[in-house]
Structure 1
Amino acid sequence: MRTYLTYPIGSACLPRGFELNSLSVHNIRRVYRHHHDFYELYLFISGNAEFLIEENTVSLNKNTLLLLPPGCMHSLRFLDEESVYQRTVLWVVPELLNRVSDGVWDEPFELHLSDADGLAIERLLSLLDEEQNRLERDFSEFEGRDTVFAEYIRLIFIHLMRLREQSGGTSAFLRAAKAYIDTHLAEDLRAETISSALHMGKTHLMRRFHAESGISLHQYILKLRLQRARRLLSRGVGAVESSQLSGFSDYTTFYKAFQREYGLSPSSFYGGFRMTQTEVDSNLPEEYNEEKEDN
Structure 2
Amino acid sequence: MKKNLQTAFSTRQYMLSKDFEIYYYNDTVLPNVAPHSHTYYEFYFFLEGEINLYIDGIPHRVRPGDFLLIPPGASHYPSFLSPDLPYRRFVLWLSKGYCERLTQASTDYIYLMQLVTTAKRHVFSTDAIAFNAIQSIIFQLIEETKSTRFGKEAKVSLDVNSLILYLNRLVYEQNHQNRGDSSLPLYLGICDYISAHLDEELSLDKLAQEFYVSKFHISHAFKDNMGISLHQYILKKRLSACRDAILCGEPVSRIFEQYGFHDYSSFFRAFKKEYGVSPKELRDMYLNGTLLST
**Which one has the bigger strand percentage?**
1
